[in-house]
Amino acid sequence: MMTMIPKFNPWIKMDRLSQRRVDAATSHNLFWIIDSKGNYGLKIQTDGAFSKETHMIKLKSIHLIKDETQVDQAAFFLILQNLHEWEIFYTLCEDLIKVVLNYPNSSKMIEAVEQRLKRWQQLLQYDKTSSFTIERQMGLFAELCCFVEVIIPKVGVRQALISWNGPEADKQDFLLDDSVLEVKSYRTSKGDAVSISSLKQLYSEKESIYLATFALTASENGQSIEELVNKIRFLIIEQGSSADLELFEAKLISYGYAPELIKEELNSFIVDKQRLFYVAEEFPKITPKDVSDAIILATYSIDLARCEKFEISLDTFLK
């Protein structure tokens, strides 16, 4: 799947202080607008009222304005202050338009729009210069697989979400009550070996340490990150709360997964092999206890073919 910022510019032939209706089949009124200074904008007009929380949403380079002076009608404006950012702004507007189309009811539409704006508040703080490489994609894909297939069956959706530390590189991927779980992905074509990038990845003061490994092959016939994300969103909606969903979205963005802004091609993956290991004292590893205090960084690889005696089944995980 290729996610690209669109090149179409709906404001390009508009005059200042003008508006043009968005070609969208909805009971709400949507307009592309240009203000007196030549700034691009989107106007959402409805018969409901936007909440006070809207004033608390801050979007980089974008002003949010409410106009509730007319009886039984409210207008909400998004005004872009930096025309160099118009492509991202257009992506935001298109996203909001899709939300509006899904909610003919004004109050529910307004609530949904405000939730999307909160997500965009996080997105626009994200460092868009960093690249979402295939290695980062594989890492996130493996952690999401582990989230669904290993953690949720044992502790439930909400605890799985709370325990996920994947975006925080200095911690194990899942921090549970008495255990930690590190997740590693690797290319099947390169053999059964995983790279450990820190002295602390297989070290913890907690009672048990586990290592989950995923051998992956990039393939159009595989599963995508988007599919896994949607599956987890559904589980959170079904079993959790709106706060849980917001936390999940925030962690995805911290990881670098912001589909609205990613320009790289996103791969789909086939899981060729999934394994779970108990990291016992004699498990092959290098920890802070094994080296001098003067050594603060070490990376090494583990041959999984020589770790069979440490492999466990999902049934015995956390027991």
- Per-residue pLDDT tens digits for 201-245: 999 999 999 999 999 999 999 999 999 999 999 999 899 887 888
Among residues 96, 123, 150, the one where a domain terminates is 123
CA 196 to centroid of chain Cα atoms? 24
Same domain for 171 and 226, yes or no, is yes
Interacting residues of 296 by C-beta distance below 8 A, sequence separation 6+: 199
Report d(CA 231, CA 137) in Å as an integer: 17
Number of domains in the chain: 2
- pTM above 0.85? no
Whether residue 5 has pLDDT greater than 60: no
Q: Is residue 144 a part of any domain in this protein? A: yes
Report d(CA 232, CA 173) in Å as an integer: 17
Over residues 5-18, mean pLDDT: 84
Q: Is residue 4 a part of any domain in this protein? A: no
Q: Are 208 and 319 in contact (CB under 8 A)?
A: no
Same domain for 107 and 142, yes or no, is no
DSSP string, 84-128: GGHHHHHHHHHHHHHHHHT--SHHHHHHHHHHHHHHHHHHTTS-T
Among residues 98, 123, 148, the one where a domain terminates is 123
Range of the domain at 308: 134-316
Whether residue 1 has pLDDT greater than 60: no
Same domain for 77 and 109, yes or no, is yes
- Work out the mean pLDDT of the chain and round it to a whole number: 88
Polymer length in residues for the chain: 319
Task: Kindly indicate the confidence band of residue 55, based on its pLDDT and cuts at 50, 70 and 90.
Answer: low
Whether residue 4 has pLDDT greater than 50: no
Q: Lowest mean pLDDT: which of 40-44, 168-172, 215-219, 314-318?
A: 168-172
Q: Lowest mean pLDDT: which of 62-71, 85-94, 278-287?
A: 62-71
What pLDDT shows up at residue 203?
A: 94
Q: Are 222 and 187 in contact (CB under 8 A)?
A: no
Q: Is residue 116 a part of any domain in this protein? A: yes
Q: Lowest mean pLDDT: which of 162-171, 181-190, 241-250?
A: 162-171
Same domain for 144 and 291, yes or no, is yes
Q: Which of 221, 216, 246 is nearest to 233 (CA)?
A: 246
- The C-alpha R_g of the chain, in whole angstroms, comes to 24
Instruction: Please name the helix (run of DSSP H) or strand (run of DSSP E) that holds residue 160, with its range, or none.
Output: helix 157-163
What pLDDT shows up at residue 3?
A: 41
Whether residue 271 has pLDDT greater than 60: yes
